[in-house]
Amino acid sequence: MDPKTLSILFLGLLAGVVGGMFGIGGGLLMVPGMVLLLGFSDKQAVGTSLATILLPVGILGVIEHYRAGNVDLRVAALLGVGFVFGSFAGAALINQPFISKNTFKLMYAIFLILVAAKYLWDVFGKK
């Protein structure tokens, strides 16, 4: 197997492990991994990440979390409905010509900083 294929498989495995543990993987791991390690454009990485989660990716993780009592099916179904329409709207928005590569990178960086700040506040800010 060639090194690029191995890198792709490893990135998918790592994203799966992190996704199973924390409920993340695509936006926080696979997208930067595809950009930094595989040379994808930002938008190509986002589209490829979404294609990964389209149907099969989470089923085994969901089964395990469901067995442990960690899945609220009603909330998951409602979130899923919102996700279907939201992912379409987000993809349509991000692919508009007025969102340049630098604008996309800035939006993504701000998103990551806000997520990191929230978690750091949860750990260190509450006494």
- 122 found inside a domain: no
Please check whether residue 17 lies inside any domain of the structure: yes
**Tally of domains within the chain:** 1
- Residues 46-56 pLDDT 10s: 888 877 776 66
Looking at residue 99, what is its pLDDT? 87
Q: Does the residue 112 lie in any domain?
A: no
- Is there a domain that residue 14 lies in? yes
Give the list of residues 6+ apart from residue 3 with CB closer than 8 angstroms, or none. Answer: none
Q: How far apart are CA 36 and CA 42, in angstroms?
A: 10
Distance of CA 11 to the CA centre of its chain: 12
Tell whether 39 is covered by a domain: yes
Does a structural domain hold residue 21? Answer: yes
Domain span at residue 46? Answer: 1-57
Q: How confident is the model over 59-107, as pLDDT tens digits?
A: 777 788 889 988 888 887 887 788 778 878 888 888 888 989 899 889 8
Kind and range of the H or E run holding 10: helix 3-22
pTM given for the model: 0.60
Q: Is residue 120 part of a domain?
A: no
Residue 48 lies in a domain: yes
